[in-house]
Amino acid sequence: MTERPICDYEGSRYSSEFWTQARTYEDAVERIALQALLPPRGRTLMEIGAGFGRLTELYAGYDTVVLMDYAHTQLAQAVERLGTAGTAEGRPRYIFVQANFYHLPFVAGSFDTVTMIRTLHHATDAPAVLHEVSEVLAPGGAFVLEFANKLNLKAIARRLLGRQSWSPFDRRPVEFVDLNFNFHPKWIWEQLDNVRLHRNAVRTVSHYRIGKLKRFLPHRLLVTMDGLAQPTGALWQLSPSVFVRACADDGKPAAPPAAFFRCPACGAPLGSPPQISFTCSCGRTWQKHGEIYDFRYPVE
């Protein structure tokens, strides 16, 4: 497997230290955008880089929800928040999977919907991640992606005032802090096109992410104003966060009925939950530990 650098959240206090009172505005406006773009119902949905499951309640219309993340401790928090109840038919409602977004452990064509919120900005190789997403989507499946936009008004103003070394107009991703990238919308559109993900809706989000506005204007007013501004994303994108929905080809093959997981090392199909241990023809064994399927480290 090609190893690329990872922004490791293992042991981080992301839920309590990032999502504080100071970010209730961002949380609320992201929910509006996600709800507007997400197909409301389906069989299978996966969030890539789901963290502690902040947005999982928005996936209530799906039979099976896969929460996938690199960090075990983030998923452990998600297990604690969401519980392990199954569906009436005895299938697990939530499937927690520890894996790397460069090597998704699912057979091609598995998901009706894939979401990725506040996660692509940790990828040094975003095209490789988008290629994986395109593979695992079912025919006509939807991908809802949030990305950090380098072409935002604050970055443009800083550049014009000579306070920023990089240009927001340059289409290449900028790594503004180690393993944190901002992307140009046109570059993202190109990468989606390259993997045959067809963009069909865009929302700009967090237009009023300015400390003073958040402190002095009522929360509800700011959130409502952002919700009203979000559809302008179809015309131009100058906000710090952008949500886009893109769909996979209708004609691509669906996953074979019993297959779900695949070996992240060699790609061979491996079976599906509730099975808890999978020995691959390549010799590796992957196992569920507690509630979490571990596709990062094979059993020694």
Residue ranges in contact with Zn ion by CB under 5 A:
263, 265-266, 268, 280, 282
The CB-side HSE value for 215 (13 A sphere, CA atoms) comes to 3
Structure-block tokens of residue 117? 């919120």
The 3-state DSSP class for residue 258 equals coil
Name the segment binding ligand SAM (CB under 6 A); options: 70-78, 188-196, 209-217, 270-278. 70-78
The burial class, CB within 10 Å (0-12 / 13-18 / 19+), for 162 is exposed
Name the segment binding ligand SAM (CB under 6 A); options: 50-58, 166-174, 183-191, 193-201. 50-58
Contact between 38 and ligand SAM (CB under 6 A)? Answer: no
Q: Which is nearer to ligand SAM, 90 or 298 (CB)?
A: 298
The sheet with strand 292-294 has its strands ordered as 198-205, 241-247, 137-148, 111-116, 42-48, 62-69, 94-98, 292-294, 285-289, 277-279
Task: From the list Zn ion, ligand SAM, none, pick the one residue 292 interacts with, judged by a Cβ distance below 5 to 8 Å according to partner type.
Answer: none
In whole angstroms, the minimum distance from the beta carbon of 257 to ligand SAM comes to 27
Task: From the list Zn ion, ligand SAM, none, pick the one residue 32 interacts with, judged by a Cβ distance below 5 to 8 Å according to partner type.
Answer: none
Nearest to residue 45, comparing CAs of 109, 111, 99?
111
Identify the residue among 37, 38, 97, 117 touching ligand SAM (CB under 6 A). Answer: 117
Name the segment binding ligand SAM (CB under 6 A); options: 115-123, 186-194, 207-215, 255-263. 115-123
Task: From the list Zn ion, ligand SAM, none, pick the one residue 69 interacts with, judged by a Cβ distance below 5 to 8 Å according to partner type.
Answer: ligand SAM
In angstroms, rounded to a whole number, what is the distance separating the alpha carbons of residues 23 and 17? 10
Name the segment binding ligand SAM (CB under 6 A); options: 89-97, 117-125, 192-200, 287-295. 117-125
Contact present, 61 and 40 (Cβ < 8 Å): yes
Identify the residue among 42, 45, 58, 69 touching ligand SAM (CB under 6 A). Answer: 69
Identify the residue among 32, 33, 65, 71 touching ligand SAM (CB under 6 A). Answer: 71
Bridging pattern class, strands 292-294 and 285-289 = antiparallel
The 3-state DSSP class for residue 33 equals helix
Q: Can you give the binding site for ligand SAM, defined by CB under 6 A?
A: 6-7, 9, 14, 49-51, 54, 69-71, 74, 100-101, 117-119, 122
